[in-house]
Structure 1
Amino acid sequence: MKNSAAPFNALGLAQENIADLESQLLKRKLRATHSPCDTKALVDGRKLKAFCSNDYLGLANHPKLIKALAEGAEKYGVGSGASHLISGHSMAHELLEQQLASFQKQHIPNAKALFFSTGYLANLTAITALAKLAPQGSASIYSAKLNHASLIDGVRLAAAQSKASVILFDHTEVDALNALLKNDSNPLKIIVIDGVFSMDGDLAPIKKLLLLAEQYDALLLVDDAHGFGVLGKHGHGILEQENVNSDRIIYIGTLGKAAGVGGAFVCAQESFIEWLIQKGRPFIYSTATPPAIAHTLSKSLEIIDSNEGGNRRAQLNKLIRIWQDEMHFAKWEKVPSCTAIQPVVLGSNANALHAAKLLDAAGYWIPAIRPPTVPQGSARLRITFSANHSETDLRQLIDTLNAIEKQVIDEETHE
């Protein structure tokens, strides 16, 4: 085997491209934690206050879920052994899907749910399979411009596989979407949108979009990754909060955020779910999630739907109100949000990285979010709250942010 000093072409290209990312301050780095997911984290041997996870209800380290996972492993083992359609579909999966469907039964007639190992797989499956309902080239997919990665990739894959037309729209300009739909003669139209936008924390105008879907005979696919468990009186998500009901809604929820465990699901009218089972390639050809995970999630849903879940949502909403009332910046931009996602936009990659470094030195874990995750020139700190944060935790963060912003402004003044 030849061993030369110079790298072969592909390796050289990889190294050059990584160096290019680093020069643009866009290189990402992994940080390994040595502690459970919670508001306090042990990272690189240091204790940090974490305001960056999506564990909104603080369930990821809940003793009842830890116990349920052990019970699930004891009852079902640690693996599923095959895809759902071969032999991997356990009674634990079946019971979980029934619970998930019951959460949305008031909002989707004849609702049925399908469980997936990740939200990415759920979105790829739902969008690509639904696009196959119409003959090739006769489907239109309307995708919100700020949708997150798995929705974008699902739309792209559907366009490649089914020759579907893809039209991007601004979710804050519903009238413009109305004009686009009005002139669309394709027999199948799908509006694809996040329920809660993950980098801004704002909500999709679900009621207005549903009216358009009904007017122009379209499907409305809502990925409520950051709303399930949090929004609505019982934590059932954005459909409960907005009090909508329609059999043309395709609802996708994530179970690794507010639910505290992992996986995702699609909930829709029974015929749509049956179609995903028949034509959803990521579902058909993926090994089923270990049934112990499904068993644990059933316990998580019980907590979400209980008084404890209500109390945790109340604590989360209290933190959101404190932030809105008490966090004031001199120059940095606080993005309006009624959710646990509270972005602070700093603009350049350098500014965001500098602020994140100062926060780290002060004992906080709040990474900088940069393009392509957010638009160019809108690098930010993405601050997220958990029900396990106390009011004291939050007010200490507010004081720290005010001090860091002042420090950064002073540095800029003296440059």
Structure 2
Amino acid sequence: MNLLESVQRGLAELDAQGLRRRLRVADSACSAHMTVDGRDIIGFASNDYLGLAAHPALVAAFGEGAERYGSGSGGSHLLGGHSRAHAKLEDELASFVGAFSDAPRALFFSTGYMANLAAMTALTGKDATIFSDALNHASLIDGARLSRAKIEIYPHADTAALAALLDASDATTKLIVTDTVFSMDGDIAPLAALVALAERHGAWLVVDDAHGFGVLGPQGRGALAAAALRSPHLVYVGTLGKAAGVAGAFVCAHETVIEWFVQRARSYIFTTAAPPAVAHAVSASLKVIGGDEGDARRAHLAELITRTRALLRATRWTPVDSHTAVQPLVIGSNEATLAVMDALDAHGLWVPAIRPPTVPAGTSRLRVSLSAAHSFDDLARLEAALVAASEASA
């Protein structure tokens, strides 16, 4: 019982600090309008940026994939679990985002977390140094730690500080890693400058485009396409459970790099492959993302972003200067942030509170996550609720 009591004390401390996380249960498909915990709400919580998670074509493709390939893969990719659906999707992904490389190849992973662990560990080791942006996602941080490489953390988006660290390093292998769109601030990394530094110092540059794939660039081909960047130093990680509306992730790089991942990426080798139906549904998603419908959804999302930036600036709190679908509103303390979240919830709006350790102490915030499935009326509901919350807390 002493063990349980120590854990209970830890939970009580989280409660006292306003830091305990709580699960909510969705009773309907992911969309802008959902039923959560038995209540109808407008959701500003998901990363379903193009509103594809419940798209009829993707739902149909998922069912078709299950009919054709069954409900599970049955094994790891190297031991019987690599289906024709996986192989086809990898070819399609390499074609879709691989213009940064002369010979692109993609490798499909079950989750973005696993893809980032692979990218951090397969290319480095004890003789390497990883140069990591201070605001990188937890999966990149954990991957760097697992790699056994030396880790140098540079201030967020500070390429001058990064250049100084690279100049001072005598590591055999150097790897720079960054998110493209930072998930708690919505800003975009200085990718062109990072590519230039990687080439100057003979370093790999791993970019995690979890929140850019499907949204940024021509036909939603991602942040590298948006910046028109090419380099053999680039290793691209994309997530398929956000804008793509399904699940999984992938790494795209030169075919030689991907072949090395097949040999050395433990989070690829030693896990059961995702169900082939998932890959089959992602193939359908790519057709939507890269077509006229995808363009229309991105155009609507862009207008939603513009309007949301304006309405957040009109509040008494501090919006982060984001031009992406991630629109944070910094409230400050944990308690005040939870109070505003609860006030919005009372108006039927799910806008999650983000607190330490995800963000620094004193910068707790609401994270307004926009989707092409939202309407302008949904934004009007959000604006009215924020006005009421502001008046109540003044």
> TM-score of the superposition, structure 1-length normalised?
0.93
Q: Paired residue for 1:305?
A: 290
1:350 aligns with 2:354: no
Q: Paired residue for 2:141?
A: 152
* CA distance in 2 between partners of 1:196 and 1:361 (Å): 30
1:340 aligns with 2:329: no
1:34 aligns with 2:19: no
In structure 2, runs of 5+ residues without a counterpart are: none
1:94 aligns with 2:94: no
Confirm or deny: 8 A CA contact 2:315 2:386 kept in the other structure: no
Q: Paired residue for 2:347?
A: 362
* CA distance in 2 between partners of 1:315 and 1:183 (Å): 46
- The number of residue pairs the alignment matches comes to 394
1:77 aligns with 2:70: yes
Q: Paired residue for 1:273?
A: 258
Deviation of 1:330 after TM superposition, in Å, equals 4.5
Alpha-carbon distance change, 17 to 327 in structure 1, aligned in 2, over 3 angstroms: closer
CA deviation profile, 1:247-276 (whole Å, cap 9, x unmatched): 110100000000000000000111111111
Q: Which amino acid aligns with 1:232?
A: G
* CA distance in 1 between partners of 2:63 and 2:378 (Å): 32
CA deviation profile, 1:17-37 (whole Å, cap 9, x unmatched): 111111111111111110100
* CA distance in 2 between partners of 1:327 and 1:21 (Å): 29
1:324 aligns with 2:309: yes
Q: Paired residue for 1:396?
A: 381
Show the 5 A alignment for 1:68-147. Answer: 68-132=61-125, 136=126, 138-147=127-136
* CA distance in 1 between partners of 2:77 and 2:39 (Å): 42
Confirm or deny: 8 A CA contact 2:214 2:243 kept in the other structure: yes
Confirm or deny: 8 A CA contact 1:60 1:260 kept in the other structure: yes
* CA distance in 1 between partners of 2:96 and 2:22 (Å): 38
**1:244 counterpart SS class:** coil
> TM-score of the superposition, structure 2-length normalised?
0.98
* CA distance in 2 between partners of 1:264 and 1:187 (Å): 29
Deviation of 1:341 after TM superposition, in Å, equals 0.3
* CA distance in 2 between partners of 1:145 and 1:151 (Å): 11
2:168 to 163, 178, 183: 183
**1:345 counterpart SS class:** strand
* CA distance in 1 between partners of 2:390 and 2:218 (Å): 36
Confirm or deny: 8 A CA contact 1:89 1:288 kept in the other structure: yes
* CA distance in 1 between partners of 2:103 and 2:283 (Å): 21
Q: Which amino acid aligns with 1:319?
A: L
Q: Which amino acid aligns with 1:146?
A: L
Confirm or deny: 8 A CA contact 1:113 1:267 kept in the other structure: yes
Show the 5 A alignment for 1:175-324. Answer: 175-324=160-309
Q: Which amino acid aligns with 2:372?
A: A
Confirm or deny: 8 A CA contact 1:229 1:304 kept in the other structure: yes
* CA distance in 1 between partners of 2:342 and 2:311 (Å): 23
In structure 1, runs of 5+ residues without a counterpart are: 1-6, 410-415
Q: Paired residue for 1:413?
A: none
Deviation of 1:148 after TM superposition, in Å, equals 1.1
* CA distance in 2 between partners of 1:173 and 1:46 (Å): 44
Confirm or deny: 8 A CA contact 1:31 1:44 kept in the other structure: yes
Task: Specify the structure having the higher radius of gyration (Cα).
Answer: 1
Confirm or deny: 8 A CA contact 1:334 1:342 kept in the other structure: yes
* CA distance in 2 between partners of 1:305 and 1:372 (Å): 36
* CA distance in 1 between partners of 2:137 and 2:391 (Å): 32
CA deviation profile, 1:311-333 (whole Å, cap 9, x unmatched): 00000001111122343335300
* CA distance in 2 between partners of 1:362 and 1:396 (Å): 8
Q: Paired residue for 2:46?
A: 53
- Provide the aligned C-alpha RMSD in A: 1.0
* CA distance in 1 between partners of 2:361 and 2:12 (Å): 19
Q: Which amino acid aligns with 1:213?
A: A
